[in-house]
Structure 1
Amino acid sequence: MRPPNMSGHFLLAPIPESSPDYLLPRDIKLAVLGAGSVGKSAMIVRFLTKRFIGDYEPNTGKLYSRLVCVEGDQLSLQIQDTPGVQDNLMQVVDSLSKFVQWAEGFLLVYSITDYGSYQSIRPLYQHIRKVHPDSKAPVVIVGNKRDLLHARQVQTDDGVQLANELGSLFIEISTSENYEDVCDVFQHLCKEVSKLHSLSGERRRASVIPRPRSPNMQDLKRRFKQALSPKVKAPSALV
């Protein structure tokens, strides 16, 4: 399972100068979660700069912002980098609650060379659904470091099976070798979150339209009698 190729429709654009006629773009808030050393920070930097920095120092807790254009719509994209989940899984998961509460779409990243990082995906997913119990926030599971096949510990079928069980999309990528795959992942999440915005906007618009009032039949009868009463009394006045 993987998102369709959408790279051709994706543009990184500078934020234009504000003007009275400029419509502010919608905010798209994404969080990237996973174990330490799976390439979360490098993946974000690769997406935003198109460059891969092999020895990139993780900047967990940093919020990245960029204006993007997705299929003609301008979106204000915000990507939250998060601390890596290590041995004390539940303690770290709890500390991620503020990021999970804030975000609208999620990337759950593991390394195909680290089976322990793969095992952290399920509890992270469960925590997202716990924080957003009634939400349809999209989640994509990413198996990173596909270029290190000689050190693979997690098979592709394992990722597919887990994604199917959780009802999520799955893709294996190499942050260092393929920018388009990285771009497609973020592109897909932007589109899914944007769809949720559109649906919620339609529901809000529908909710503010007042329901037509049913006619009051008693009031109509009273007004009808009042309209007829002069015509009924007129002959008696002439007698």
Structure 2
Amino acid sequence: MRLPNMSSNFLLAPIPETADYFTVRDIQMAVMGTSSAGKTAMIVRFLTKKFIGDYETNTGNLYSRLVHIEGEQISLQIQDTPGCLQVEDDVAQAPDISRYVHWAEGFLLVYSITDYRSYQCIRPLYQQIRKVHSNSKIPIIIVANKGDLLHARQVPSDSGIQLANELGCAFVEISTSENCEDVCDVFQHLCKEISKVQTTSAGDKRRGSHVPRPKSPNMQDLKRRFKQALSSKVKTPSPVA
């Protein structure tokens, strides 16, 4: 499953201070992978694109920014997760990794095409996410980074595509250093997918709490009762003496 190209439809811009009429949507995403995958470079490249403006970095590598995406105001939070991953028995282990999995609403699983070990971490990371979000349609995109370093490639493109198809994820191969538009497309697509899930979940909650309207009364019955009420008020005329 490849990531669709949507650069021409994507707009990020600082939010005008006077746009009080917008409803702010909160979106939380996590970028996961080994330290060699280039996760931080992807995030910073995305957030420092010239028309985005300044961003804030909070404690624990959490990046926050108000952005304007396709006419909607979004409070975007991007968690850069620890890169010191270890894989044991197909389980990805890292400090506090479960906390990020519970927190995020969507994920970018990033590996470097020049590091086969980083590719091997993708499946265990996916399995960790599904343990927490087993019944969820939470969006996950597999990102093959450093696509410009073809001379040092250790992971063929076909391997990434095959893994993504097997796991049911979107897939894209990019070069953070050479093509900023591709990087923006990845974050754009994840934002859109998270928004879809949020909208669907909100609709399900509204339907679940909906109180059925009472049935309309039978009109024939109403007419009958109305006639009875009128007839009871009619006085019988007294006989003339």
* TM-score normalised by structure 2 residue count: 0.82
Cα offset, 1:61, TM superposition: 3.2
Q: Does 1:199 align with 2:200?
A: yes
Cα deviation, 1:58-103, whole Å, max 9, x if unaligned, reads x993111122222222222111100014335546257211111111
Partner AA of 2:3 in structure 1: P
Partner of 2:144: 143
How many residues are matched? 229
Q: Are the aligned partners of 1:9 and 1:70 in contact in 2 as well (CA < 8 Å)?
A: no
CA distance in 1, matches of 2:94, 2:137: 20
CA distance in 2, matches of 1:214, 1:82: 54
CA distance in 1, matches of 2:230, 2:14: 74
Partner of 2:179: 178
Q: Are the aligned partners of 1:25 and 1:74 in contact in 2 as well (CA < 8 Å)?
A: yes
Partner of 1:163: 164
| Change over 3 Å in CA distance of 1:8–1:87 after alignment to 2 | same
Q: Does 1:26 align with 2:31?
A: no
CA distance in 2, matches of 1:86, 1:60: 20
Cα offset, 1:171, TM superposition: 0.8
Cα offset, 1:4, TM superposition: 2.2
Cα deviation, 1:31-68, whole Å, max 9, x if unaligned, reads 000112210011101111139xxxxxxx9931111222
CA distance in 2, matches of 1:232, 1:12: 74
Cα offset, 1:123, TM superposition: 0.9
Unmatched 5+ residue regions in structure 2? 51-57
Partner of 2:188: 187
Q: How does 1:88-167 map to 2 (within 5 A)?
A: 88-89=87-88, 90=91, 92-93=93-94, 95-167=96-168
CA distance in 2, matches of 1:105, 1:12: 19
Partner of 2:4: 4
Partner of 1:56: none
CA distance in 1, matches of 2:236, 2:15: 82
Cα offset, 1:150, TM superposition: 1.3
Cα offset, 1:132, TM superposition: 1.0
The sequence identity of aligned pairs, in percent, is: 59
CA distance in 2, matches of 1:42, 1:181: 13
Q: Are the aligned partners of 2:36 and 2:115 in contact in 1 as well (CA < 8 Å)?
A: no
Cα offset, 1:30, TM superposition: 0.8
Partner of 1:211: 212
CA distance in 2, matches of 1:230, 1:18: 62
Q: Are the aligned partners of 2:46 and 2:184 in contact in 1 as well (CA < 8 Å)?
A: yes
Unmatched 5+ residue regions in structure 1? 52-58
Partner AA of 1:7 in structure 2: S
CA distance in 1, matches of 2:8, 2:66: 17
1:203 partner SS = helix
Compute the RMSD of aligned alpha carbons: 2.9
Cα offset, 1:209, TM superposition: 4.0
Q: Does 1:16 align with 2:13?
A: no
Partner AA of 2:194 in structure 1: V
CA distance in 2, matches of 1:47, 1:197: 23
Q: Are the aligned partners of 1:33 and 1:82 in contact in 2 as well (CA < 8 Å)?
A: yes
Cα deviation, 1:126-157, whole Å, max 9, x if unaligned, reads 11111112211110001111111111111101
Q: Does 1:75 align with 2:74?
A: yes
Q: Are the aligned partners of 1:11 and 1:68 in contact in 2 as well (CA < 8 Å)?
A: no
CA distance in 2, matches of 1:233, 1:15: 70
Q: Which has the higher helix share?
A: 1
CA distance in 2, matches of 1:81, 1:178: 20
CA distance in 1, matches of 2:212, 2:151: 65
2:93 partner SS = helix
